[in-house]
Amino acid sequence: MTITIKGLTKSFDDTPVLRGIDLTVRDGELLALLGPSGSGKTTLLRIIAGLEWPDAGQLVVAGEDWLALSAQQRRIGFVFQHYALFPHMTVRDNIAFGLSVRPRAARPGNAEIAQTVDELLNLLQIEHLADRHPAQLSGGQRQRVALGRALAIRPSVLLLDEPFGALDAAIRRDLRRWLREVHEKTGSTTIFVTHDQEEAFELADRVVVMGDGEILQIGTADDLYDAPACPFVARFMGAVVELPVNISDGRATARGLDASALPVTSAPDGPGRLFLRPDSIALIPDPASPWQLSRKISTGADLRLTLLGPEGQEIPVDLPRRSAPPVEISQTYRLRPSVGALFSDDAAGAAATPIRLSA
Ligand SMILES: Nc1ncnc2c1ncn2[C@@H]1O[C@H](COP(=O)(O)OP(=O)(O)OP(=O)(O)O)[C@@H](O)[C@H]1O
Ligand SMILES: [Mg+2]
């Protein structure tokens, strides 16, 4: 089922929450929606599910206008951010729920429902839990049951709104791998909401970054990492070092900065901002540089360094401890980034025209 969204807008009490969303989700794709809290991820999912209606725009799924259909008619599988199973029902009955409440004419026979539930229990690796109640399950097991319940109706589209949000990191990692496998077996077109970038990249074919009701960029992990479309995405992707620079002939220049490893861009001459990740900056000893090493901490794997800049600003630099050249407190170093994103101040202010910069 291909999902095509065009010009979708939504306001609550005159506050715009979605400001013109254009998005195509390919048939069978697992797409992650990534963005900070309040950026409109859940609202977009609820509109696709038919739990909320947009003010304007189109939602077409497999050629059909979904805005003309009720939530029931859309056959969506939805696992919510804060999902509650029915506490008085067993796992088996929870999974069967969506099938057993169908109107008589559309309801499968009891034997067929039982078979579907058995298949799902097997797929989700929770056969041994079939007769338990939700209170007798761990958080991760409950999320599997919630997913089983969403899958039981053979959904045309599967929507997952931070389904693992409440679980601890190790369990999330297991469930992620397992969800990927389930997706490969079922082939449902799936939208997965998260605000954890690692989760988004590990799971998804493509990632959509949302900020303040807009789609800022769509791409693979490599696209977003190497060529963030705007400062917001650059920061969101961990480029937390921001250097004020001068752009001349497409290159960033500043005292103590050696940008020679970065490709030339089409950025216009003038003031700009260079976004860097702490782990992609090499330090070259240079007595003429204003950047001075002020702090050095080892985590075993990495050296976490702090450099003090010409205007008193501090930036973090991370080096792999075993392969890092020796560095010493109070010495001065030139910054030599291997990857970076350069935006002219106009673009940085408006978060508009991207100036791409990637090897
Ligand atoms: N029913 C509603 N009435 C009024 N405002 C709402 C309603 N639902 C959502 N909002 C507002 O819309 C904005 C987007 O909310 P939404 O739940 O879509 O964000 P989100 O990206 O899912 O955030 P989170 O990561 O915290 O779940 C927020 O500012 C929220 O307060
Ligand atoms: Mg949400």
Confirm or reject: Cβ of 42 under 6 Å from ligand 1: yes
**Residue 121 DSSP SS3:** helix
pLDDT score recorded for residue 359: 34
**Residue 329 DSSP SS3:** coil
Report, as ranges of residue numbers, the positions in the chain whose pLDDT lies below 70: 83, 347-359
pLDDT score recorded for residue 309: 94
Task: State in Å: Cα 241 to ligand 2 middle.
Answer: 28
Give the closest residue (by CA) to ligand 1 atom 9. Answer: 43
Confirm or reject: Cβ of 50 under 6 Å from ligand 1: no
* Domain topology for 3-224: Rossmann fold (3.40.50)
- Cα–Cα distance measured from residue 168 to residue 34, given in angstroms and rounded to the nearest whole number: 19
* The two structure tokens encoding residue 163: 């389904």
pLDDT score recorded for residue 210: 95
Taking the CA of residue 13 as reference, the ligand 1 atom at the shortest distance is 4
Domain ranges of the chain: 3-224, 234-350
pLDDT score recorded for residue 347: 65
Find where tokens 């539930």 sit: 117
Most ligand 1 atoms within 8 A of CB, residue of 8, 13, 21, 42 to mutate: 42
Task: State in Å: Cα 124 to ligand 1 middle.
Answer: 31
Confirm or reject: Cβ of 35 under 6 Å from ligand 1: yes
Nearest one of 139, 97, 89 to 117, comparing CA atoms? 97
Amino acid of residue 151: L
Contact between residue 358 and residue 226 where contact means Cβ atoms under 8 Å apart: yes
DSSP 8-state symbol, 135 = G
pLDDT score recorded for residue 83: 65
Most ligand 1 atoms within 8 A of CB, residue of 39, 47, 80 to mutate: 39
User: Angle at the Cα of 100 (from 95 to 105), degrees rounded to 5?
Assistant: 145
pLDDT score recorded for residue 358: 37
pLDDT score recorded for residue 2: 96
Beta bridge mates, 161: 193
Taking the CA of residue 52 as reference, the ligand 1 atom at the shortest distance is 1
Task: State in Å: Cα 39 to ligand 1 middle.
Answer: 7
Give the closest residue (by CA) to ligand 1 atom 13. Answer: 38
Task: State in Å: Cα 345 to ligand 2 middle.
Answer: 32
DSSP 8-state symbol, 312 = S
Confirm or reject: Cβ of 17 under 6 Å from ligand 1: yes
- Cα–Cα distance measured from residue 251 to residue 260, given in angstroms and rounded to the nearest whole number: 8
pLDDT score recorded for residue 125: 86
The alpha carbons of the chain give a radius of gyration, in whole angstroms, of: 25
